[in-house]
Structure 1
């Protein structure tokens, strides 16, 4: 029988062996609690980093290609001191006038021309990462066109209620060609995690992921 509470403690006072046993049991309980806390912390921080090989490879390639330009400083999570002229909520470094302004349509039609370059795009927010708020999609002028603005987990956090608002975003264009197998794996992940309406097995050609590795953004109410 396992003794608990003050009764066991009192018996431990009169019995040195019991006192040692009580201390050992207490130490084991503490280790179990700390272990559980560590596990729950790891699960809570997994978020969008738990992605298939295709997505992980795409992120690694994009980071390597863009170097320090794609990596926002630790202070990027803080709003810029001077909001952009568009007004609204500022994320990261906001947006400036140094980057070339490109339409989502032009960027989608000829992404190779902008690979590795810092550009500024804008459009209506059509979707936001529901887990960590680490990305949002902007719609282009043509049906089905969109551009994803992606940051590392925790650098900027975009609220889910940004969906339907208007975004002006600045980032580095990153391209990652995928094999057909990687394409199907990536689309299966999108369908499983985000409810994308796609049948991965019906895809017969490999795709290239095109996105903006985020530097800053301004999100405001749609006009």
Structure 2
């Protein structure tokens, strides 16, 4: 669009605030006070929240929100979020895991007595034996559940799920099931596929991913 010289000048004048020759200078005029004036006061945030809660309570919406929240929490407890990045094993795989840790700084008891020095290497298996075999499964896969049940009872094994509902399996199998919350254990052991097991062998742990085949693991 073409802007004529006088239009361009008017535009510049409007932006810059200058008065062009053909413009009439504006003069400030005191018209007095019109109406009543009040100071600007911001509402206290807590008062605003409290008022909204009271309003929601009076309308019944608060009870509805509480019910929805309780239902979501119950659903998450009954069926935790699946551990990401875990799939069914398609080949057998096994490796060693050394649980030895290096102490970063001195550890002392409440009397100041040194328990472990910085730089010291400690293997928990030197003091405590792992009496239960850890079994990691997809609880939604019947074959993996059957594999876990065939490995032994609660005294011999601890079944840890990466997917599914522990409560449903507890009810169906009358034994305890656990869940790898946020995938902390599978990440620690490097497990990427299920079913998998972790068991002690001397001063190390043996981690195994087991590819299920017909008749295997039963």
Answer 1 or 2: which has greater helix percent.
1
TM range (shorter): under 0.3
Higher-Rg structure is: 2
TM-score relative to the length of structure 1: 0.25
TM-score, L = length of structure 2? 0.25
